[in-house]
A and B are shown apart, each in its own frame.
Chain A
Amino acid sequence: RKEVEQDPGPFNVPEGATVAFNCTYSNSASQSFFWYRQDCRKEPKLLMSVYSSGNEDGRFTAQLNRASQYISLLIRDSKLSDSATYLCVVLRAGGGNKLTFGTGTQLKVEL
């Protein structure tokens, strides 16, 4: 089983739509969880950390379910500029703060 699993997409949505991405992770000792976005041939940029109680940042809402080892990201009122690959990322407890990345879910927002 992959350490971090995501649906690769692509998700093609119209502007203004709401879109949700899901992610599962296999290591129950994982400590911290993040969503990064990556534009083509660019670096991953931290979008938001995911807290146990769930958290919201503007149009973005992240949820964590530790029992199911499941993380989600909801984007409301999607914009053309949201088009990117969204990476689910997990940090394992202990050791050297190694981040484990999913393969990413591609989002294309269209007019």
Chain B
Amino acid sequence: EPEVTQTPSHQVTQMGQEVILRCVPISNHLYFYWYRQILGQKVEFLVSFYNNEISEKSEIFDDQFSVERPDGSNFTLKIRSTKLEDSAMYFCASSELGTLYEQYFGPGTRLTVT
């Protein structure tokens, strides 16, 4: 069964450093997403991406965040200057065209900012 993959599984970084989280969506999917979940809280939408551009972004997704699809398979989330409050689990998801837009999630990257 095809699945979304993410690397790394855990990233520890110092405040102010840049991090890049990587995702390989399901191959025939056309929509890509990033969500995050702070420990003990609900899953929150960050951004959606379609046809090589951002479709929608949340208030959390400020100028410190960017997304890119550098080639035909990878989808990345960059945080330019990490803050302590960026510590969270970051999930990538993808979906295909359709009326329900069912989204399938990767296993996540746990980001710890110290």
Contacts and interface: CB of A to CB of B under 8 A. Distances in A.
Interface in A95-110: 95-104
Interface in B33-48: 33, 35, 41-45, 47-48
A49 interface: yes
Interface residues of B, number: 30
A99 B103 contact: yes
Given A43-B91, A102-B42, A97 B48 contact: yes
Contact of B56 (A95, A101, A102): A95
A46 interface: yes
Contacts, number: 62
Interface string B5-42: 00000000000000000000000000101010000011
A45 interface: yes
A43 B35 CA distance: 10
Contacts of B104: 46
B41 to A, nearest CB: 8
Given A96-B48, A96-B50, A96-B56, A101 B105 contact: no
Interface string B80-105: 00000000010101010001111111
Main secondary structure of the interface of B (DSSP, over half): strand
Nearest to B46: A98
A43 B105 contact: yes
Contact of B100 (A42, A49, A96, A103): A49
A96 B55 contact: yes
A98 B56 contact: yes
B10 to A, nearest CB: 11
A32 interface: yes
A32 B91 contact: no
A98 B44 CA distance: 9
Contacts of B48: 95-98
Interface of A: 32, 34, 41-46, 49, 87, 91, 95-104
Interface of B: 31, 33, 35, 41-45, 47-48, 50, 54-58, 89, 91, 93, 95, 99-108
Per CB-CB distance, the 4 closest pairs between chain A and chain B, nearest first, are: A96-B56, A96-B55, A96-B48, A43-B105
